[in-house]
Structure 1
Amino acid sequence: MTAAHFRDAARYWRSPLVPDADMVTAEYYDHEFTPHWHDAYTVPVIEAGAECFDYRGAHHIAEAGSVPVINPGEVHTGARAVDAGWRYRVFYLPVPFVENVAWEMAGRPAASPWFPDDIIRDADLARRLVIAHRLLEGGADPLAAETALVDAVTTLIGRHALERVDIEPLAADAHRVATMKSRLADDLLEPLTLAELAQTVGLSTFHAARLFTRETGLAPHAWRNQMRIVRALPALRAGASVTAVAAASGFTDQSHFTRHFKRAFGVPPGRWR
């Protein structure tokens, strides 16, 4: 952001974790969107400033922290609502993807989710969406990114779809949890997606993440990072460099390792050693 206002700058990008979806990281000042529609669910999070738009016969103003969802096929516009313009992150999620998430939640075919005309103001949902968007954009940890995406989209559907989705009950299953732990721990250097982990135990991504998190107290990627730290301790005690230990343990880089290590032990790995 300049001293006066945002720039007109946008980057469209994709992730292999969400086939056929487009994502946008953008800021706008002069640009105005003419009436148009998308064949996907448009799920933006306003990060700063404010956007105004016409949608389904009403004029709306979406401020920072809001989630102005646009349903597929619905005509809308877009322009700045404040002098500075606005900055946002947007998911364009294919209809089949969102339908499949709803079906996974219910455990059976469900109606296509439809979201209210009014802007969604849910700070917790906005936070989850931003986390997922940033992780997908960074591309470093597919397990963390896919888990965050499933969490964000199921939160959106569960809280704000006009037709309630009743979540299928999930029984305790120690065998499946143990199998997932084994897969997570077998090769800490292996890039692993939530879909691959879920396939190991014959569950949907939603229910695999839900079962694992409920039974262990940690999401799959968080549990795996904790296992990486535990296995890194002998090498640190033996005097190996933090950089070498981070690489051998499956962390993206030294700062990634240090961040997670400090969260667990309260000090950086070098000082702990």
Structure 2
Amino acid sequence: MTGQTIAHGGPPREFATMTSLPILGGVELLHARYVTQIFSRHFHDGYAVGCIEQGAMRFRYQGQNLVASGGQVNLVVPGEAHDGHGAAPDGWAYRMFYLRPETLAEVAGALMTRPGLPDFRMGVIDDPVLAAAISRTHRLLESPDTSTLEKETRLMAMLAGWISRWAEERGRLAGPGREHRAVARAREIIQAGYGGDLSLAGLAREAGLSPFHLVRVFERETGVTPHAYLTQVRVQRARQRLAGAERIADIAVECGFADQAHLTRLFKRQTGMTPGNFRKNLQNSPLRRG
């Protein structure tokens, strides 16, 4: 069963439909059309891959300004910061998969000669065959008439095609050893104390660097500033708690936002939907229903 379509009003109509499926360790699907949406710079813990159905999206990724147009594939790998906004007057429409690293590791293990997560250097791929497979698989997974076995089989086949055609053979090992120790320590502090009023001076002292040096190292290694990372953690924690029955206003304050309006503004800049609409999607998703 798909999530609820969310209308934001105004021609052309904007919408976002998010579906969570309990297959292959958990998969999220997003079908959306955005016109005025501007995604703030952020990164994902997993992979994101999709196809542009209409219009064009512009985003900064791996030091490049990229444009993904209708019929092309757009993607990001774990930990790579990016943003996004319309590159055409009518914005863009797309279908996206959000996948756990473990899911791709399982598929890649059967295709790659070296261990590790698959790496993709390109943020935009001009591959009509892959784009069609992504669109077809996405629609199939949205359908309540498709069996779990078929969904898992078709998704694995689509991922295998993506990896075999475009992944770097050398693979990519993820882990804390890739990070500067100071960045790792700062991230730990933010993740533990995200609900409080953290200071740059306090983070720098714990990390053993000057405030200026910490900001430079942190942004170089994560693609975002410590403040942007704090905002992302707060949004992620609020997103997790929206699965429950707590008042959104209470979630906002306990996650470190000034009030519900503050949460709503920053939540939409990262996810493309409001906390209320996100909660409605969760309530209608098969993963939530169990």
TM-score (norm 2): 0.52
In the alignment, which residue of structure 2 is the partner of 1:101? Answer: 107
In the alignment, which residue of structure 1 is the partner of 2:83? Answer: 77
Distance (whole Å) between structure 2 residues aligned to residue 18 and residue 84 of structure 1: 35
Q: Does 1:130 align with 2:131?
A: no
In the alignment, which residue of structure 2 is the partner of 1:194? Answer: none
Judging changes above 3 Å, is the alpha-carbon distance between structure 1 residues 164 and 152 closer, same or farther for their aligned structure 2 residues?
A: farther
Q: Secondary structure at the match of 1:69?
A: strand
Contact 1:131–1:148 (CA under 8 A) maintained in structure 2:
no
Contact 1:33–1:78 (CA under 8 A) maintained in structure 2:
yes
Distance (whole Å) between structure 1 residues aligned to residue 16 and residue 136 of structure 2: 19
Within-5 A mapping of 1:136-151: 136-142=141-147, 143-151=149-157
**By how many angstroms is 1:19 displaced?**
2.5
In the alignment, which residue of structure 1 is the partner of 2:166? Answer: 160
**What is the one-letter code of the residue matched to 2:125?**
I
Contact 2:108–2:118 (CA under 8 A) maintained in structure 1:
yes
In the alignment, which residue of structure 2 is the partner of 1:91? Answer: 97
**What is the one-letter code of the residue matched to 2:70?**
A
**By how many angstroms is 1:118 displaced?**
4.1
Judging changes above 3 Å, is the alpha-carbon distance between structure 1 residues 24 and 44 closer, same or farther for their aligned structure 2 residues?
A: same
Judging changes above 3 Å, is the alpha-carbon distance between structure 1 residues 118 and 13 closer, same or farther for their aligned structure 2 residues?
A: closer
Root mean square deviation of aligned Cα: 2.1
Aligned with 2:28 (options 19, 22, 43): 22
Q: Does 1:111 align with 2:113?
A: no
**By how many angstroms is 1:148 displaced?**
1.8
Distance (whole Å) between structure 2 residues aligned to residue 135 and residue 110 of structure 1: 31
In the alignment, which residue of structure 2 is the partner of 1:220? Answer: none
Judging changes above 3 Å, is the alpha-carbon distance between structure 1 residues 138 and 35 closer, same or farther for their aligned structure 2 residues?
A: same
Distance (whole Å) between structure 2 residues aligned to residue 132 and residue 109 of structure 1: 28
- 1:113-164 Cα offsets, whole Å, 9 max, x none, are 0002341110000111111111111132223322221111000000000126
In the alignment, which residue of structure 1 is the partner of 2:222? Answer: none
**What is the one-letter code of the residue matched to 1:16?**
P
Distance (whole Å) between structure 2 residues aligned to residue 6 and residue 103 of structure 1: 43
Percent identity, please.
35
Distance (whole Å) between structure 2 residues aligned to residue 76 and residue 134 of structure 1: 26
- 1:172-197 Cα offsets, whole Å, 9 max, x none, are xxxxxxxxxxxxxxxxxxxxxxxxxx
**By how many angstroms is 1:5 displaced?**
5.3
**What is the one-letter code of the residue matched to 1:40?**
G
**By how many angstroms is 1:61 displaced?**
0.5
- 1:67-92 Cα offsets, whole Å, 9 max, x none, are 11101111101100000110000001
Q: Secondary structure at the match of 1:44?
A: strand
Within-5 A mapping of 1:23-42: 23-42=29-48
Contact 2:71–2:128 (CA under 8 A) maintained in structure 1:
yes
Distance (whole Å) between structure 1 residues aligned to residue 12 and residue 28 of structure 2: 22
Aligned residue pairs, count: 162
Structure 2 unpaired stretches of 5+: 1-6, 172-290
- The range that moved more, 109-118 or 123-132, is 109-118
- 1:4-36 Cα offsets, whole Å, 9 max, x none, are 954331111111223332110111001100101
Distance (whole Å) between structure 1 residues aligned to residue 29 and residue 59 of structure 2: 20
In the alignment, which residue of structure 1 is the partner of 2:71? Answer: 65
Structure 1 unpaired stretches of 5+: 166-273
Flag the structure with more relative contact order, 1 or 2, with Cα contacts below 8 A and sequence separation at least 6.
2
Q: Secondary structure at the match of 1:113?
A: strand
Distance (whole Å) between structure 2 residues aligned to residue 97 and residue 58 of structure 1: 27
**By how many angstroms is 1:42 displaced?**
0.8
In the alignment, which residue of structure 2 is the partner of 1:11? Answer: 17
